[in-house]
Amino acid sequence: MTLEQGIVLGVIVLVFGLFAFSKLRYDVVAVIGLLALVVADVFLEQVLRLGESNLIDPAHALDGFGHAAVITVAAVLVISRALRNSGVVDLIARRLMPLAENQLLHITSLCVVAAVLSAFMNNVGALALLLPVALKTANQQKRSPSLILMPLAFASILGGMITMIGTPPNIIISTFREQAQQELKAEALKDANSTAAKYFQKRNIDPDKFQPRAFSMFQFSPVGGAVALGGVAFVALVGWRLIRKDRLKKVGAEELFALNEYITEVRVPEDCKFVGLTLGEVEKATGEKLMVFGFIRKDGKVIAPNRNNLVRAESRYLVKADPVDLKNIMDEFGLRLDKELRARIDNLEGTDVTFAEAVVTPTSGMLGRTRAYLRRRTSNTVVLMAVARQGRPMRKRLGDIRFQVGDVLLLQGSESNIEEHVGSLNLLPLAEREVRVGIFSKVGLAVLIFGIAIALSMFKVMPTTLSFLCAIIAYVFIGILPMRDLYREIDWPVIVLLGAMIPVSGALQDTGLTEKIAGFVNEHKGAVPNWGILAILMVLTMCLSDVINNAATALIMAPIGMGIAVQMGASPDPFLMAVAVGASCAFLTPIGHQCNALILGPGGYRFGDYWRMGLPLEVMIVAVSVPLILYFFPLFPAVLN
């Protein structure tokens, strides 16, 4: 292994380690990896004077941000917003309401719609639209949302595998195919003795006549569609039965979407019936409906309380309880909210003060911030009453909590203020409402424009990126996409991640590291059949996707898959498809995919709940997809592309 290859391998190990174990956001980690390569390149060339390095050209280090895959991902996110504005999804959701009476039909119908929508729009956006519908229908039928939300999230992930635009890994794999084939062709024409030239010779292909191509819009459909169909059938018919019954979240009583583990601050007035009791006796008196887990000292610090300590007047505590139970307990025992919290509520103007619950989404401005940010953004017109976070103990005061994806916030304020700020902060409201149908007259027009854009891409009239940009401009002109919504839906951390990781992925190939890894695999595969290599590549990609971002996984594993194919003298298509499927399958943890994180709070799940349904699903996907890939994308076809 050369020095350059060792540096690239070290940077990738560093990036993967930071992805998996650090608290840094994935876009920051990607930029760290990019800068590490730039610094290493400058050090080799300017300090050690080792000549021109193959690591990265500092002058072109940011070229990844102009890559077609990056622009396409951003365009898909904007188009998703336009389709939401037009009312297409809400119109479909209204048709689902009558199907909710039967539990199996309820889950199946939601999963099917989520999968179909995710094939043509961002799967996180599709889930966000269907989440309130799922919660409302579950409440109407007195059904636990825990039975519905995980199948719904998994179905939205599966649906993204159907088309090229359904999920970022597919977009990455599509553009990578064309780029890798161009580089392979250029190398073969430049050097007749190169590995690329021998590869073309072995495949009996003339490099001069070979035309590099990206995967088309529906080239993923034979495999992705079948996997999505089987996966949706599994989660809808079997998967939800694997959810632990003791983890099912109870159906709200007076509060429509009340969570059973809200965290809030309370004080004990002098006339409170808890005065003189121990904390253990307090919890027993409330039927274990109130859990006291933090004592707030006068300096504001929170310490773990002793269960045998007596409750004193004017003491303050952090408690965990269902909002309905907490209200009853406050009325029965004379408990009160913290004075500061009470004062802010009393200062709210108007008589239309109401409660609302909202989920922190992956694109929310609240992500990683505290209550102080909410106060500044809302000018104190919205009060944070409590925070619900499933699976992790929160021994902090409300003001010290940094919000994460999936956190459910209990807000209080006027209806107009809550509606305005929930929208501006990109929070997902979990409020009882009639399904919006958007602008009926423009539903058909929105679908028509999107269909034309897809057709232009399918028939090679123009690249997918440009056809989608044309659709976006059309949406702006006809009023479906207001200027204020133009960039709101773009997941900027993902865009930065892609722009930074594309050069890192390129360094894998430019330094010859992928060829080195592929050669090692080819030499040591022993008696493992070719389909076994394909399955191992897919499983390894799945494992990485469960702990790091799926787009980053695709960018790293795609060059390795391509290198293995070249070493074997096989078509790269089955290996790239294996990477695409594996990168899209993140079902074991809530951190593997944004859809999984989004349902963590509303579904009342724990970190360890996902694998119970996710593991058999991933096993089934490998068993189904490997034969399908080999059938539709043979290892040794007569024609390479």
Element of type H or E holding 272:
none
pLDDT higher than 80, residue 638? no
End-to-end Cα spacing for the chain: 32
Domain-located, residue 498: no
pLDDT in tens, 578-605: 999 999 998 988 877 888 877 877 777 8
Q: Which domain holds residue 444?
A: 70-163+239-249+435-485
Domain-located, residue 346: yes
- Name residue, tokens 């540096």: 7
Domain-located, residue 156: yes
In this structure, are 415 and 441 located in the same domain? no
In this structure, are 133 and 267 located in the same domain? no
In this structure, are 371 and 480 located in the same domain? no
In this structure, are 12 and 147 located in the same domain? no
Amino acid at 281: E
In this structure, are 84 and 123 located in the same domain? yes
CB-hemisphere CA count at 13 Å for 126?
27
Give the pLDDT score at 131.
80
In this structure, are 294 and 363 located in the same domain? yes
Q: Report the residue count for the chain.
A: 641
- CA distances, 240 to each of 144, 245, 472, 621 (Å): 11, 10, 38, 17
pLDDT in tens, 520-568: 887 777 778 888 999 999 999 998 888 777 888 899 999 999 999 998 8
Rounded to whole angstroms, how far apart are CA atoms 190 and 183? 10
pLDDT in tens, 615-629: 999 999 999 999 999
In this structure, are 270 and 405 located in the same domain? yes
The secondary structure of residue 304, as a DSSP letter, is P
Q: What is the share, in percent, of the chain residues with pLDDT greater than 90? A: 23
**What pTM did the predictor assign?**
0.74
**Residue 146: Cβ within 10 Å count:** 23
**Which CATH number covers residue 400?**
3.30.70.1450
Domain-located, residue 514: no
Residue 604: helix, strand or coil by DSSP?
coil
pLDDT higher than 60, residue 407? yes
Q: Is 409 exposed, middle or buried (0-12, 13-18, 19+ CB in 10 A)?
A: buried
Q: Which of 465, 485, 505 is the last residue of a domain?
A: 485
- CA distances, 82 to each of 414, 453, 476, 488 (Å): 28, 14, 9, 11
Give the pLDDT score at 226.
95
In this structure, are 48 and 100 located in the same domain? no
* The two structure tokens encoding residue 441: 């007259």
Element of type H or E holding 483:
none
Residue 558: helix, strand or coil by DSSP?
helix
In this structure, are 478 and 336 located in the same domain? no
Rounded to whole angstroms, how far apart are CA atoms 594 and 600? 10
DSSP string covering 130-195: HHHHHHHHHHHTT--THHHHHHHHHHHHHHTTSSTTSSHHHHHHHHHHHHHHHHHHHHHHH-TTSH
Nearest in space to 638 (alpha carbons), one of 567, 549, 554, 570: 570
pLDDT higher than 70, residue 403? yes
Residues 1-14: what's their mean pLDDT?
89
In this structure, are 298 and 424 located in the same domain? yes
Q: Which residues pair with 266 in a beta bridge?
A: 317, 337
**Residue 308: Cβ within 10 Å count:** 9
Q: Directed axis angle between helix 146-159 and helix 610-632, to 10°?
A: 20
Amino acid at 483: M
Q: Specify whether the CB–CB gap between 572 and 177 falls below 8 A.
A: yes
Distance from CA of residue 324 to its chain's centroid? 31
Nearest in space to 491 (alpha carbons), one of 118, 17, 123, 119: 123
**Residue 45: Cβ within 10 Å count:** 15
- Name residue, tokens 């209806």: 415
pLDDT in tens, 204-222: 888 888 889 999 889 999 9
Domain-located, residue 494: no
Q: Regarding predicted confidence, which is higher, 353 or 40? A: 40
CA dihedral 203, 207, 213, 214 (to 10 degrees): 60
Domain-located, residue 101: yes
Most confident of 103-117, 126-140, 304-318, 404-418: 103-117
Give the pLDDT score at 51.
79
In this structure, are 279 and 156 located in the same domain? no
In this structure, are 331 and 280 located in the same domain? yes
The confidence band for 86, taking pLDDT boundaries of 50, 70 and 90, is confident
Nearest in space to 504 (alpha carbons), one of 15, 170, 6: 15
The confidence band for 171, taking pLDDT boundaries of 50, 70 and 90, is very high
Give the pLDDT score at 350.
46
Total domain count for the chain? 3
Domain-located, residue 197: no
Amino acid at 249: K
Domain-located, residue 35: yes
Q: Which of 405, 429, 453 is the last residue of a domain?
A: 429
Give the pLDDT score at 82.
84
Residues 6+ apart with CB under 8 A from 255: 322, 323, 324, 355, 357
Q: Which of 403, 429, 455 is the last residue of a domain?
A: 429
Give the pLDDT score at 89.
63
Q: Specify whether the CB–CB gap between 280 and 307 falls below 8 A.
A: yes
DSSP string covering 197-266: HHHHHHTT--TTT-------TTTTHHHHHHHHHHHHHHHHHTGGGGS-GGGPPPPPSSSTT--S-EEEEE
Q: What is the share, in percent, of the chain residues with pLDDT greater than 70? A: 89
- CA distances, 139 to each of 130, 142, 148 (Å): 14, 5, 11
pLDDT in tens, 176-200: 999 999 989 999 998 888 888 988 8
Residue 633: helix, strand or coil by DSSP?
coil
Residues 6+ apart with CB under 8 A from 631: none
